[in-house]
Amino acid sequence: MSLEPIPEFTSVAAFEEGAPTFAENALGKALHYSEFRGGLVIADDSGLVVPALGGAPGVHSARYAGPRASNEQRIAKLLDEMRGLRGDSRAAYFVCVIAVVRGRRGVAIVSDRIDGQILDAPQGYGGFGYDPVFWFSESGKTFAELSRDEKNKYSHRGRAFRRVLKVLLGSKDLRA
């Protein structure tokens, strides 16, 4: 089994992520892009969920501070909205949902998450998005302070992709 990008992906019309859940966005993307590629198509949606903020930024993680906001602007908005919250109210998790389709039919949806806390200020320079404020207690670091290998081992996306790989390798129908 090999993975290949969609030919001339940059010329393909983008999928508008307007669904209310990560699973619906992931499946919508996979179905959309399956129109441009035969075989299995894999797409994901992921983001940061803060229960104390009603689940925000959630499916709007990339657009939380506006469609063209920088990572720093998104983090600043998040920290501003969390000002005054302490203890368990700073709990958060990253979630990743992956959808696999063949043709116009969904054949698998898997997800995983990683729990942590939101710090009062950014720490570290690696990663992207909300990584500098996401404290992962198991490592004693923010996601921005993890090495690439550590991030691949612990992250929501790494965990979800390992789960989908097990599904794909375990199904004769999906390997064909």
Q: Are 99 and 29 in contact (CB under 8 A)?
A: yes
Quote the tokens at residue 101: 């389709």
Query: Residue 174 pLDDT more than 70?
Result: no
- pTM beyond 0.95: the answer is no
Which has more pLDDT, 46 or 172? 46
- Write out the catalytic residue numbers: 45
- At which residue do the structure tokens 């129908």 appear? 173
**For domain 19-175, is the CATH number 3.90.950.10?**
yes
Name every residue whose Cβ is closer than 8 Å to that of residue 121 and which is 6 or more positions away in sequence. Answer: 79, 133
Closest by Cα among 133, 124, 126 to 151: 126
Question: Could you tell me the pLDDT band of residue 1, with boundaries at 50, 70 and 90?
Answer: low
Q: What mean pLDDT do residues 151-163 have?
A: 94
| pLDDT tens, residue by residue, 114-156 | 999 999 999 999 889 999 999 999 999 999 999 999 999 999 9
Percent of the chain, pLDDT > 70?
A: 92
Maximum C-alpha span of the chain: 54
* Domain residue extents for the chain: 19-175
Give the number of other Cβ atoms within 10 Å of residue 1's Cβ. Answer: 9
Query: Residue 172 pLDDT more than 80?
Result: no
- What CA–CA distances, in Å, run from 69 to 17, 47, 61, 79, 121? 17, 15, 11, 15, 18
